[in-house]
Copies of this chain bind each other. A is one copy, B any other.
């Protein structure tokens, strides 16, 4: 596409670097901003600039934060005896939006992946081990993706943690509301293997 202006071309190129944005959507955004007042556009770019320059990571759990401790770690109502281990802040947001978890988090910063050159020392595993030991942690919930890398990381970490601490992981099986025929074979086979007594399902739904 020829935008007959280098300024427009540069702005479209900037937007189309974002995930999921092609040239057409980028142009739509640029034309939208072109119609806005100059101070609205300054506000837009400043909030992005501010976010990148001033963001901090929580000293405890490595979640994003505006201060030294994140909004979750400072809440005294949270159960400090439970730590949920997640890959990134994306999962913190996902679990928080279920409103079902009242403990703390630990953001690992990735998964062990030899193919991508990511080893245990690149992740915040030592910080986790230290945190679990120093605080009176009773349960570590490992909420990593059910992939090869996730399972490798889960296994590695489970070997580092004091064996007296209860380590759990998310249950796996067919998704709620999903139709059985569309579940992948692996999931269906595993959920058949790990079948649970019907009384437990009914009890959990209460």
Contact indicator A70/B5 (Cβ below 8 Å): yes
What's the number of copies of this chain in the assembled complex?
Answer: 2
Name the distance in Å between A28's Cβ and chain B's nearest Cβ: 5
Is there an interface contact between B55 and A4, defined as CB atoms closer than 8 Å? no
At the interface, is chain A mostly helix, strand, loop or mixed? Answer: helix
Task: Determine if A14 and B47 form an interchain contact, defined as CB atoms under 8 angstroms apart.
Answer: yes
Is residue A20 within 8 Å, beta carbon to beta carbon, of the partner chain?
Answer: yes
> How many Å lie between the Cα of A6 and that of B71 in the bound state?
10
Total number of A residues with any Cβ neighbor in B under 8 Å: 58
Chain A interface (Cβ within 8 Å of chain B)?
Answer: 1-8, 10-11, 13-15, 17-21, 25, 27-34, 36, 38, 41-55, 63-66, 70-72, 88-90, 92-93, 96-97
